[in-house]
Amino acid sequence: MSDTHVPKRARALPAQLLAAVEAADVVIHAGDWVDAATLDLLESRSRRLVGVWGNNDGTELRRRLPEVARVELDGVRVAVVHETGPAAGREARCEQAFPETDVLVFGHSHIPWDTVAPGGLRLLNPGSPTDRRRQPVCTYLTAEIVDGRLGAVALVPVDRST
């Protein structure tokens, strides 16, 4: 997930998202939490949480989170960052900035993104589960790692009626 913006854009995280958090082996948040209470909540509900700070995150979140996170998940090298710059040239720029990375998770735009750079780097932006901006619905991503490779990736629409 990314760009939760609680409590500025939403009062709370959607129940659907919290259920997905509790079911996941690893939860990734690509920044713009806005308040530390959201970080505390996700830390308490996640088996493992990987997060970074975003441009709207203040001193406390920047103290507790890195600007860039790098983890290896069952052989898949994952990097997480909030902002990657303009869409034009993103794949080449990110491939150069994140060598030896298999998957880059990023946020900032609130626009879902799923592409593969020429050298094989997979770029994923989950959109936002709380602030759809110019998108038809709020979203987050789920992904599976199977046999040391990124498997199924699904963009999940948030049901705001619950």
Residue whose C-alpha is closest to residue 122's, from 147, 156, 140, 145 = 145
pLDDT digits (tens, 9 = 90+) for 42-72: 999 999 999 999 999 999 999 999 999 999 9
Note the pLDDT of residue 9.
81
Give the residue-averaged pLDDT of 5-13. Answer: 90
CATH class of 15-157: alpha beta
Please say whether the beta carbons of 135 and 160 come within 8 A: no
The answer, yes or no, to whether residue 162 has pLDDT greater than 60, is no
d(CA 147, CA 43): 27
Give the residue-averaged pLDDT of 14-43. Answer: 97
pLDDT digits (tens, 9 = 90+) for 68-87: 999 999 999 999 999 999 99
d(CA 135, CA 60): 30
Which segments of 31-148 are extended strands (E)?
49-51, 68-73, 76-81, 103-105, 113-116, 122-125, 139-146
